[in-house]
Amino acid sequence: MDTVTYPDHHVAHFIEEHFVPARVRTKDDPELLKEYMVAWTPNIVVTDDQGKVHYRVEGFLQPQDFVAKLSLGAGRYHLNRQEYDQAAERFEEVAERHAGTDAAAEALYWLGVTNFKQSHDPGQLRPLWDRLAEEYPDSDWTKRSKVPM
């Protein structure tokens, strides 16, 4: 991550715009590994100011893929805080800019959820999940959207 992903200026800019970045020296504080359930690195955790975990990115990712995952993480953070406009902004960005990727499929799933949570209208959910099934028929996120009736 330090040789490829973090030095990428798009990654650095995205982090500075959407996050407060913290790095822990695990040798100095091994209790944090237990607290955040870190068994392997790279391991990037999206938390709030109380330390509650909202998203996790595990394993090495190339810069573009990492930005997509971080944007999903920011979206989940805002969704959990019922900040729906900010959440939708993040998910829409991933769905459009990273079209064709696993991250975009995940973004469409959560964009549907966000729209439903905001409006309480199932009609705001179904078009997004229909688009998910059409564009990403083999995605795990499409399978998750198939709710038995």
Partner 1 sequence: MTAIAEQVAWQTLPQAKERAAREGKPVLLDFSAAPV
Residues that bind partner 1 (CB under 8 A): 1-3, 6-7, 9, 11-12, 15-16, 18-27, 32-33, 36, 38-51, 54, 70, 73-74, 77
Calpha distance 41→21 (Å, rounded): 17
Dmax over CA atoms of the chain, in Å, equals 52
Q: How far is the CB of 107 from partner 1 (least distance, A)?
A: 17
Return the number of the residue (21 or 122) whose C-beta is nearest partner 1. Answer: 21
Beta bridge mates, 56: 45
Dihedral of CA atoms 127, 131, 134, 139 in degrees, nearest 10, equals -120
Q: How far is the CB of 128 from partner 1 (least distance, A)?
A: 23
Return the number of the residue (57 or 128) whose C-beta is nearest partner 1. Answer: 57
Return the number of the residue (9 or 146) whose C-beta is nearest partner 1. Answer: 9
DSSP string, 27-66: TT-THHHHHTT--SSSEEEEE-TT--EEEEEES---HHHH
Q: How far is the CB of 69 from partner 1 (least distance, A)?
A: 11
Return the number of the residue (41 or 119) whose C-beta is nearest partner 1. Answer: 41
